[in-house]
Amino acid sequence: MSFKINRPHLKEIRDKNKVAILGMLRSGAAISRPEIAESLNLSLMSVSRLVKELVSEGICRSDGERSSNRVLGRRPSFVSLNTDHGWVVAVCLSAFSKAISIIDIAGNKRFEASIPEDKSKTPEGATRFIGKTVKSFLTTHRNTAGKLLGCAVVVAGQFDIKSGVLLSAPLLNWSGINIQKLIEEELLCEVVVDNIANALCISHVDNIQIRTAKTLNILLVHVAAGMGSSLFINNQLVRRGGDEGWIGHLKIQSSKRKPDEKLSLSEVVSGRALIDNLAKHKNFEIDQGADFASNFKRAIDETNSGNKGFSEVFEDAGKTLGENLFVLCASSQPDFLVLAGPAFNTTPFEESVRKGFEQASEDANQRWTSIQVSRHSYLDAAESMALRKYFCRVQKSSSL
């Protein structure tokens, strides 16, 4: 009797290794074939064959020699990304940032612009501005620009991950809009749409993976006007129906409420909750003629300037968030808990989250993760999303 041994298809293995090589090259440095072989535990012959394919596809170039003090022997050639192969577009649509950038496949930024407020009042207006901007850039760079590979859009809100329909974006006053289809029709390229928490998580992961081959599990918490969260486990995002705000719905016991009265986490620690608390108890005057982002930034600046009353509000909220994040981390036990968003631009808030988390750790006599803070902008996150989508395309699949 013979038994058939199931093995992954050789093409899948080859494409996976090609993606790994591209990942190494994303740091921007030229790398020799022996260095690639050693890092990925592949034979030099296999690496040479894979690199030859990438060069023939125009994605990579063989650069000859890197500066070396060696005189004798055959000098190895070095491989780098062909930055003229193509471009990706990144778009951020939120109350805190409305911007577009165009980058090459190595992540070098070739263009960046803010989307004017009058153009972003409607999704159609924003889409037209995006299309006009990209077409103008490609026309200007027609002699050097490769093909337009795709576009990534990050949105502050909830959307349907299958259809691309934006279900809710309160601070943009958009809802029921298929933003993915609108931009695809304007740019005539593939478009991926995701929420800001997921994009920030991908950006943080990519920043780590450029420096190390390790695959880390991450829980990212995003605090802006509302709250969001993203979980990255086993090298992929844990999907929650396109809604990053699930974390804010968790019910908690507030120390300043009656024992039987519970609030949602967002009612205590979100940007809206912080502003409401400052306005009610600390004489913070909300500028009715300004948007939320402007008022929140003003509150952050006042807190960082040393206003003790404002600091107390951020400290109380931060401690509550830290204590509850410890409980959340108990189930997934991520390698890192990552804090992101404009709320963490306040030192009292960040420090109090750490203190609340550490106190809960000591009380439980358990330590299973460490805290990091993401300083990536929303547009940085959109760029990482765009690049990851492009690199995944090499193997005809995507983990996004």
The tens digit of pLDDT for each residue in 199-252 reads 999 999 888 776 666 678 999 999 999 999 999 988 888 876 556 778 888 888
Residue 398: predicted pLDDT: 35
Given a cut of 70, whether residue 67 has pLDDT beyond it is no
User: Could you tell me where the DSSP H helices lie in the chain?
Assistant: 10-25, 33-40, 44-56, 123-140, 179-187, 196-209, 266-269, 271-281, 292-304, 308-332, 347-364, 378-393
Residue the block writes with tokens 């809960």: 360
Global pTM reads 0.84
Domain 206-376 indexed as CATH 3.30.420.40 = yes
Fold of 86-196+379-393: Nucleotidyltransferase; domain 5 (3.30.420)
Domain ranges of the chain: 10-81, 86-196+379-393, 206-376
Residue the block writes with tokens 């509550």: 320
pLDDT in tens, 171-193: 888 888 899 999 999 999 999 88
- Tokens, residue 163: 């259809």
Given a cut of 80, whether residue 311 has pLDDT beyond it is yes
Per CATH, 86-196+379-393 and 206-376 having the same topology is answered yes
CATH code, residues 10-81? 1.10.10.10
pLDDT in tens, 362-379: 998 888 788 999 999 999
Residue the block writes with tokens 């995002």: 237
